[in-house]
């Protein structure tokens, strides 16, 4: 006769993880500092705020030697949000020795930002190194570099693309005229045009609810409709600014199964991201162009 299996009891670590994941899901409009108003047409017209949110995700208590890297970065992000906007400097660090090329970050970014066909904020590039028979393979996630000297800003004829005080390069969809000058100007290929297409176009069912749901980019609610932004605009990665404003890490960081992506404030000398960018393993893409990218790679 088999003995009945004992039910596993929840540990403090598991309880902490549940609390952390629960905290990640509170990115409501109020938490993100978004005030929803009504337009004449009765549509939501959110107003954004760059101030730190009044309500931040509740993180579990830290136990000696048990805090995860994600929790540490989350705490450092919330610490940075207490500083003035101009005193923050967001950077991303990607450890290429940990990246397994799973593209989980690509899928998470697509889902988080509601991206249409042909618009990919975080593709994962593949590189072959060496010669046969000594050949190896390397995967390189490529988000927007958020350059300190961004060529895309200089070529925009209507100043729709600009650099924020915290270093994030933003696009004003309502200002953008869709000229696409910025697309070839970006040396990293990080900009895409929204042609208004859906994945289910020309199918019997037509556009599905997941395709018509609003995108939360820049802390606003963008409905993709013909003739309305962001359709007809250039789009790109913005480090999940709407999540940052809500006190949460970018979607690609929290979904990286290999723990290869780090994020934080480089102006905080005690932050993990700040310490990593001083590593001798660090390199940046196309540094010779003088763009000063804020995405660092550990090789």
Convert the pLDDT of each residue in 101-142 to its tens digit.
999 999 999 999 999 999 999 999 999 999 898 999 999 999
Strands 295-298 and 90-95: parallel
Contact 234/192 with Cβ under 8 angstroms? yes
Give 251-273 pLDDT, tens digit per residue: 999 999 999 999 999 999 999 99
- What pLDDT score does 30 carry? 37
Q: How sure is the predictor about 19, in pLDDT bands with cuts at 50, 70 and 90?
A: low
Name the CATH code of domain 25-298 (choices 3.40.50.2000, 3.40.50.300, 3.40.50.2020, 3.30.70.20): 3.30.70.20
Q: Where are the domains of the chain?
A: 25-298
pLDDT at 217 exceeding the cut of 80 = yes
pLDDT band at 211 (very low <50, low <70, confident <90, very high): confident
């Amino acid at each position: 006769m088999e003995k009945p299996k004992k039910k596993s009891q929840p540990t403090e670590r598991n309880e902490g993880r549940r609390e952390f994941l629960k905290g990640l899901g509170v990115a409501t409009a109020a938490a993100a500092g978004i005030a929803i108003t009504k337009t004449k047409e009765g549509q939501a017209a959110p107003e954004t705020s760059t101030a730190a949110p009044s309500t931040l995700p509740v993180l579990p208590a830290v136990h000696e030697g048990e805090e995860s890297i994600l929790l540490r970065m989350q705490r450092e992000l919330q610490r940075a949000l207490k500083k003035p906007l101009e005193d923050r400097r967001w950077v991303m660090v990607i450890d290429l020795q940990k990246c397994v090329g799973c593209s989980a970050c690509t899928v998470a970014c697509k889902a988080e930002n509601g991206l249409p066909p042909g618009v990919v904020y975080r593709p994962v590039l593949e590189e072959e190194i060496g010669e046969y028979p000594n050949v190896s393979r390397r995967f390189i996630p490529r988000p927007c570099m958020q350059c300190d000297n961004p060529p895309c800003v200089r070529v925009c004829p209507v100043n729709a693309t600009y650099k924020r005080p915290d270093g994030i390069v933003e696009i004003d969809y309502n200002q953008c005229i869709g000229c696409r000058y910025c697309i070839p100007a970006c040396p990293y290929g990080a900009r895409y045009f929204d042609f208004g297409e859906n994945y289910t176009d020309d199918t019997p069912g037509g556009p599905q609810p997941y395709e018509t749901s609003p995108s939360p980019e820049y802390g606003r609610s963008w409905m993709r409709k013909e003739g309305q932004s962001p359709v007809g605009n250039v789009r790109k990665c913005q480090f999940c600014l709407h999540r940052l404003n809500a006190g949460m890490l970018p979607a690609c960081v929290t979904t990286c199964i290999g723990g290869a992506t780090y994020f934080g404030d480089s102006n905080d000398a005690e932050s993990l991201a700040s310490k990593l960018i001083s590593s001798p393993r660090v390199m940046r893409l196309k540094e010779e162009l003088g763009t000063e990218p804020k995405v660092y790679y550990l090789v």
